[in-house]
Amino acid sequence: MNNKITVSAIINADKSTVWDYYTDPKHIVNWNFADPSWCCPSAENDMVIGGKYNARMEARDGSFGFDFLAVYTKIDMGNSYTYGFGDRFCDVSFNESDGKTEIVVSFDPETENPLDMQQFGWQSILNNFKAYVESL
């Protein structure tokens, strides 16, 4: 795939804090969902090349759920990483300026849903992350 979708957010926190909250499973379960009717009841993250990321996504009413599974292919600890999921890839970077951190997420879209729907969903998750970090 050659047309990545990119979403981003500027978080009012330093890069070290943002990196930790974005990659630590104890935090991931608190923000990793696009809509309040969903939740992330569990997450695992082995952040090494070849390590696995697994986040369980579920509708709160129990009607649907899935595991988001990925494998790390590149890691610049504290700055950026790339993971693969299926035949798709996602690049995540963290850039600090003036005590704020911008997260930029670029991912290969899937073919089942419209591009704008995918962008909205990933942006919503990132917005939840921003709200979570800034509330603490």
Give the CATH number of the domain where residue 63 resides: 3.30.530.20
pLDDT in tens, 91-134: 999 999 999 999 999 999 999 999 999 999 999 999 999 999 99
pTM equals 0.94
Q: Which two tokens stand for residue 56?
A: 């369980």
Task: Identify the residue whose tokens are 């950026």.
Answer: 80
Specify the number of domains making up the chain.
1
Q: What is the mean pLDDT of the chain?
A: 96
For residue 2, name the pLDDT band (cuts at 50, 70, 90).
Answer: low
Cβ–Cβ < 8 Å for 109, 3? yes
In this structure, what is the dihedral angle of CA atoms 37, 91, 47, 110, given to the nearest 10 degrees?
50
**Domain around 78:** 5-135
Residues 6 or more apart whose Cβ sits within 8 Å of residue 27 = 20, 21, 132
